[in-house]
Amino acid sequence: MVLNELGARINSALHALSKEPVIDEKAVDALLREICTALLESDVNVRLVQQLRQNVRKRINMDELSASANKRKVIQTAVFDELCTLVDPGVQPWVPRKGKQNVVMFVGLQGSGKTTSCTKLAAYYKRKGMKVGLVCADTFRAGAFDQLRQNASRAHIPYYGSYTEADPVLIAMEGVKQFKKDKFDLIIVDTSGRHKQEMELFAEMQQIAKAVRPDNTVFVMDGTIGQAADSQARAFKETVDIGSIIITKMDGHAKGGGAISAVAATGSPIIFIGTGEHMHDLDKFSARPFVSKMLG
Ligand code: GDP
């Protein structure tokens, strides 16, 4: 992870501050400016950075700061807490309940890691003793069903899909119906993600959601997309009722700010992060350890 580049920048700014002979408002403002530049470069959305700056500034009492033996720690803690607040929407994440036939729909752009994450989540709950089924409602991308079939087979997870049916809504309905009939605990529906024809993609998502009535909709976002995270998450949020988020590719070049922006844009909690291409590369998300890693 390159998450902790931000930590190195903030630490060096704090170090510079501690060398200042007098720590006054001007010095604190300069420090916050430097920290905010580092946050922007870590892909945190500009509005959120401004908000964080104001909040940190409000929290720092100049008299207390001058009297404090560890000035760096005071500022560091304020920044840490504010970042935690941004990445934690204060909503209890949805979890499938045993004894209920839970339906989860996955949405996200093509290449975000949706199909991979569907299998990862299925394997996670299978390990917890649930009867899990996967439905491939992506008829747009050639090879989507084969990919899900291969992943599911490898994980020994039952799957449903079709090589001949072109209507993803029908496939989703039929798949969910069959798994419900067979008393599955968790039914995960993978939908298609596209780069183009976004309107069509969004209309299709709405139709599938209407047909299968998911208990939760998981928005999958590539953690390496940087500042595009805010607008992408907003576009999805406006169309479907996003319940949770999975941020993928956090083993790559992701800097963490994209995840923060996605939470802020949707008001939904991150439930897992993807940390690799393999089935078990899925980590449960927790705000404080995530921010700790970001700050190095
Ligand atoms: P979809 O089009 O959204 O269904 O995306 P896929 O599931 O096909 O994933 C696109 C590519 O990203 C594949 O090569 C996956 O192996 C890869 N991928 C998915 N999640 C992760 C992750 O957490 N880390 C890494 N490094 N690669 C991932």
Say whether pTM exceeds 0.90. Answer: yes
Is 269 strand, coil or helix? coil
Position 247 confidence tier, pLDDT thresholds 50, 70, 90: very high
Distance between Cα 246 and ligand 1 center (Å): 12
Q: How far apart are CA 27 and CA 11, in angstroms?
A: 15
Distance between Cα 277 and ligand 1 center (Å): 6
* Ligand 1 contacts CB of residue 238 (under 6 A): no
What atom in ligand 1 is closest to the CA of residue 147?
8
Q: Which residues pair with 136 in a beta bridge?
A: 190
* Ligand 1 contacts CB of residue 146 (under 6 A): no
Q: Whose CA is nearest to atom 9 of ligand 1?
A: 113
* Ligand 1 contacts CB of residue 150 (under 6 A): no
Name the helix (H) or strand (E) containing 201: helix 198-212
Q: Is 156 left (phi over 0), alpha (psi -120 to 50) or beta?
A: left
What atom in ligand 1 is closest to the CA of residue 248?
23
- What tokens does 24 get? 């006054």
Distance between Cα 259 and ligand 1 center (Å): 16
**Model pLDDT, residue 4:** 63
Distance between Cα 276 and ligand 1 center (Å): 8
Q: Note the pLDDT tens digit of each residue in 58-91.
A: 988 888 777 777 777 888 889 899 999 999 999 9
Q: Note the pLDDT tens digit of each residue in 180-229.
A: 999 999 999 999 987 666 788 899 999 999 999 999 999 999 999 989 99
**Model pLDDT, residue 68:** 73
Position 278 confidence tier, pLDDT thresholds 50, 70, 90: very high
- Say how many C-beta atoms besides its own lie within 10 A of residue 101's C-beta: 19
